Chain A
Amino acid sequence: MQLTLWSYEGPPHVGAMRIAASMKGVHLILHAPQGDTYADLLFTMIERRASRPPVSYTSFQARDLGRDTAELFKTTVEATYERFKPELILIGESCTAELIQDQPGALAQGMGLPVPVLPLELPAYTRKENWGANETFYQMVRGLLKSRVPAPGTERALRAQGARPKANLLGPTSLGYRCRDDILEVTRLLDSIGIDVNLVAPLGASPADLLRIPEADFNVCLYPEVADQACDWLRRSFGQPVVKTVPIGIGATHEFLQEAARAAGLEVDTTREPISSRMPWYSRSVDSTYLTGKRVFIFGDATHAVAAARIATEELGFTVVGLGTYAREFAREIREAAKRYGVEPLITDDYLEVEAKAAELHPELVLGTQMERHIAKRLGVPCAVISAPVHIQDFPSRYAPQMGFEGANVIFDTWVHPLMMGLEEHLVTMFREDFEFHDGATPSHLGPTTARMGQPAPEAQSEPTETAVVADGVLVWAPDAEQELKKIPFFVRGKAKRNTERFAEERGIQTITVETLYDAKAHFGR
């Protein structure tokens, strides 16, 4: 058993769901107990998707275990096919179904459905979400294209004279970190050097679209966590080169353009300063001088963590004091990078280990995932998010890529922002101590005083401590009414207080009682 306060990745079937939900015409049938539909919320709430993910569940319960869960599964498959008529059906099991071993993949394949059925092996007790996505995408690409693989030794057909080279962007998924905008930015980048995008997959592609993968001159592996197996197989089977540089950061974007040009056989001069990024100038401007040598701890998926470390050192002048990833499959990349920056690589999916490391390193800034925000809060250190897992606020409405030149602009603002706030907070705290604010005053979660262990959550602390008496001191709150007021959630408490006092004043009430409070509440309504 592993004690887990927070887990960096979901189970592998959630990875399979991400592939299905990314695509059109694909439906996933999951053998899973009642309750596992929670995962739909990731798509409908966190990503704010406007349709249900294309996933059907068997939702078995205890009473079904005494009967035939295999039969229940077959009924679900039939009903699902009839209703949704997908082009391709994926079959998966969640962790509990894996234990009862109904062999749903074989069952579904034996049902004679008129569309391809792809059973997935998703070992829930050894593998995790990204592995599940990677495996599902690979199996799907391989399953659809294996009959079209040319005989060994066949030369790739030459591109027609004058035609623009074409690339596939592989790896973007539903629930991927900033995939939506990265695709736009990378498409723009490639277009600027004369390369077209043939296909983006899995995000937005249908099974029929995947059949067009071999038409491109090369593949861009944008998110190795999801697409490296598929890209490798396509390189081996169809001779398509893979562009492996992930264009996050100014330096990496330049290298990406050069690598893409090489893969397309183009002569491209990418040495001129890009007009579209303000980040290099912002970073050189004197206001950024105080950023020099800021100690930063970086943790996330390997792709984003390695990219972040390069930006931090070469483009912002920070000092990387710690670098790690939760993705064991990509430990090698992190180890190599860690060597470059002279730090110990941290390869772990154990949140507690990351927390201990962060505490030991005393960074001034944490760049991490949603989980590192918990750590940073506990340590009282500023924090910015660079990688999944993320919550709803990191699926923003605005254009917010991480890749390319605009991505670099976004990154500059995002990383520096909490530092500025940290400085402001510091000054505020100083003045609170020096002047009229004392003990009762609340430091924000970024302030240094919350850095101790076991502090109550800030919602419990942040009481605005203005006085209860208004208008020449004639209006008083009875102690029980004041107690009652404190039970109102803090974010509406101020309004409730003002309303009650206004109510009391208008009626000439001098002492506010619990009754007054509720009378006022009823009077004003919402």
Chain B
Amino acid sequence: MSAPEIHCEQGQRQVFCGLSGIVWLHRKIQDAFFLVVGSRTCAHLLQSAAGVMIFAEPRFATAILQERDLAGLADCNQELDRVAAEVLERRPDIKTLFLVGSCPSEVIKLDLGKAAERLSEVYRGRVRVLDYSASGLETAFTQGEDACLQALLPELPTRPAGERSLLIVGTLPDVVEDQFKRLFDELGIGPVEFLPPRHATEYPSVGNGTLMLLAQPFVGETARVLQKRGATLLTAPYPFGIEGTLAWLRAATDAWGIPAERLEAVTAPAIARAEKGLARQRELLAGKRISFLPDSQLEIPMARFLQRECGMELVEVATPFLDRQLMEAELPLLPSDLRLTEGQDLDLQLDRLRVARPDLTVCGLGLANPLEAEGLRTKWSIELVFTPVHGFDQAADLAELFARPLVRGALLKV
């Protein structure tokens, strides 16, 4: 089967910047604090995204640049030291402090890398200070996680040469992480480690015997740096749905030399369950037409799952950024006549959408309600990043996320 042709588009983009990754990363890495160095806009973005939760004590904040910082009247580095001290005094339990770069800090070329080095020296033994950029100039939405994970890499200890291990890269909900761990245990694969870890102090180790499976399709740069440290990337589709999860596990069992029968035996009960759950959702989804607007880079694997396992028809699948290496195993699974778009020119894309009028459109929250008002059913895409959707036992849940707006649409009589 041949992979579909890729259309590249440029223009107005309706996506989050990488800073929004902080919203889930700060929940995953529980002893880390994210300090954005940016403008009031950055602070506003973060609190608009996360502010509906009422925090007794948030683990993120913004150091807002003032006029004096821009005019060079204040030494930005001294200012940053002062702010970092304030944060750490307030939160003595913090073990890792991320200095997060933004569009303004990048345009004025504030060197956060140097600052992180300096501060690490100051707080040596107590707090590690790391830096990454999550600006809109550099990153779209989930790419913020890729950048954050890269910042963690120098911290990872080196595994002795030739010692075999499996490293799962990309944030997974804790419950999914545990499910996968159990499956790998039963298959006899180990040690299995996860990046990011739940605590920034429990780093996985990497060596030339490390095999990598990517749990998320947006951690490409992280994977490439890990390859430079000797790790081997296992090519596989992403673990969404039965097919994706099985193929993902198979990439590991093949590398470990575990016989196919063993994989079959271990996964059979979970697959049987998943098929049962999925059957119900398939009834609701089969034959329905779906379009994806670009958001998280999850679009391609999700579309593959919905088409092959739920019987949906793909109208257009757009992704903010298409990493061909990371999509190697996914692209051939898509129908070859699909309209696949990389990037975005928002108004033109909406024109196409209004002509096609799919049964369901996956899009961001800036567009969802306006499209609903035009009579189009939508599934807001950010939820796919915040919900446990990986693995066999979540396959039906994943399908249900897409079925729910359709069910609701049919249910409401007002």
Contacts and interface: CB of A to CB of B under 8 A. Distances in A.
A58 B12 contact: yes
B389 interface: no
B138 A41 contact: no
Listed from nearest, the 6 A-B pairs whose CB atoms lie closest are A35-B17, A35-B136, A40-B366, A50-B373, A522-B273, A95-B39
A7 B47 contact: yes
A158 to B, nearest CB: 46
Interface string B61-101: 11111110110001010011011001100010100000000
B383 interface: no
Contact of B39 (A34, A35, A124, A525): A124
B375 to A, nearest CB: 11
Nearest to A13: B41
Contacts of B41: 10-11, 13-14, 36, 94-96, 124
Interface stretch (A163-171, A185-193, A230-238, A370-378): A370-378
B136 A34 contact: yes
A374 B54 contact: yes
B13 A34 contact: yes
Interface in B96-143: 103-104, 106-108, 135-138, 140
Contact of B366 (A37, A378, A450): A37
A435 interface: no
Contact of A378 (B57, B87, B276): B57
Given A41-B48, A125-B66, A52 B40 contact: no
Given A95-B40, A125-B70, A377-B56, A1 B12 contact: no
B268 to A, nearest CB: 12
B14 A3 contact: no
Interface in A8-36: 9-11, 13-14, 33-36
A329 interface: no
B154 interface: no
Interface in A312-350: none
A42 interface: yes
A356 B366 CA distance: 36
Contacts of B45: 35, 38
A45 B56 contact: no
Nearest to A519: B273
Nearest to B275: A522
B274 A59 contact: no
B367 to A, nearest CB: 7
22 contacts: A1-B69, A1-B79, A2-B63, A3-B86, A4-B61, A7-B44, A14-B44, A33-B17, A33-B103, A33-B136, A34-B137, A35-B135, A38-B366, A44-B370, A61-B138, A83-B347, A96-B107, A100-B107, A125-B65, A373-B54, A454-B57, A457-B56
Given A34-B15, A488-B175, A128 B369 contact: no
Given A1-B64, A33-B136, A526-B400, 12 more contacts: A7-B40, A10-B40, A33-B137, A42-B48, A62-B137, A96-B103, A128-B40, A377-B55, A455-B56, A518-B270, A521-B277, A522-B393
Contacts of B274: 522
By secondary structure, the B interface counts as: helix
Nearest to B366: A40
B206 interface: no
B369 A44 contact: yes
B69 A391 contact: no
A31 to B, nearest CB: 12
A14 B48 CA distance: 12
A160 interface: no
Interface in B380-398: 393, 396-397
A124 B69 CA distance: 13
A437 to B, nearest CB: 22
Q: Categorize the interface residue count of chain A.
A: 35 or more
Nearest to B44: A10
Given A2-B66, A4-B62, A51-B373, A44 B17 contact: no
A6 B51 contact: yes
Contacts of A14: 41, 44
A56 interface: yes
A188 B322 CA distance: 57
Contact of B11 (A52, A59, A62): A59
B393 A518 contact: yes
A371 to B, nearest CB: 8
Contacts of A33: 17, 103, 135-137
B58 to A, nearest CB: 6
Given A34-B136, A37-B13, A61-B136, A45 B369 contact: yes
Contacts of B108: 99
A74 interface: no
Contacts of B138: 61-62
Contacts of A518: 270, 273, 393
